[in-house]
Amino acid sequence: MKTSPNVIVSYSGLLPDSAWRSHLANNDTHLLEWMREQLAKAVPGLIEKFNTLPGRQYFGYKRGGSSDMLYIFIQSRKLVVDANVDISRAKLLQHLGFHVSFRKNFQGRIGWLTGWDIPYYLGWEKRREVLQVMIEAFR
């Protein structure tokens, strides 16, 4: 595990819970924990990072030496995801009840699906569909 002022990065696999849990003590992390475990099982060579900066806390994921492929931003009532999947996936997600508001950040400008809101209650209910789209980011 390596750290910089605000980012903690695993060398391989998931970060230990102790690296991030205290930063998210006031958040519901059940869905996030499930997603992390499932991503680790589904994506060989997964590397995780966590930004500890209050108000900008997120987990970032990549495979091996690749670029980042997925970001999960933590907010009080929802997760917001930016994923390296075709933006046409937004229609499926909206059909499932999710809101997608494309962002004009770097990822959005290069064609990622950005601004995918996952309220905790709906994310848990649709967790398998959510995970499927997240895993697509690594293909």
Q: Provide the token pair at 133.
A: 């789209």
Phi, then psi, of 65 in degrees rounded to 5: -90, 10
Nearest to 120 by CA among 48, 55, 54, 72: 72
Give this prediction's pTM.
Answer: 0.94
At CA 33, angle to CA 103 and CA 26, rounded to 5? Answer: 75
Split into its structural domains, the chain has a count of 1
In eight-state DSSP terms, residue 16 is P
* Residue 66: pLDDT band with limits 50, 70, 90: confident
CA distance 118 to 80: 6
Quick one: average pLDDT of 112-120? 95
CA distance 72 to 117: 10
What pLDDT does residue 69 have? 97
Domain harbouring 16, CATH code: 3.90.1150
Quick one: average pLDDT of 103-124? 92
Q: Is the pLDDT of residue 4 over 80?
A: no
Domain hosting 43: range is 2-136
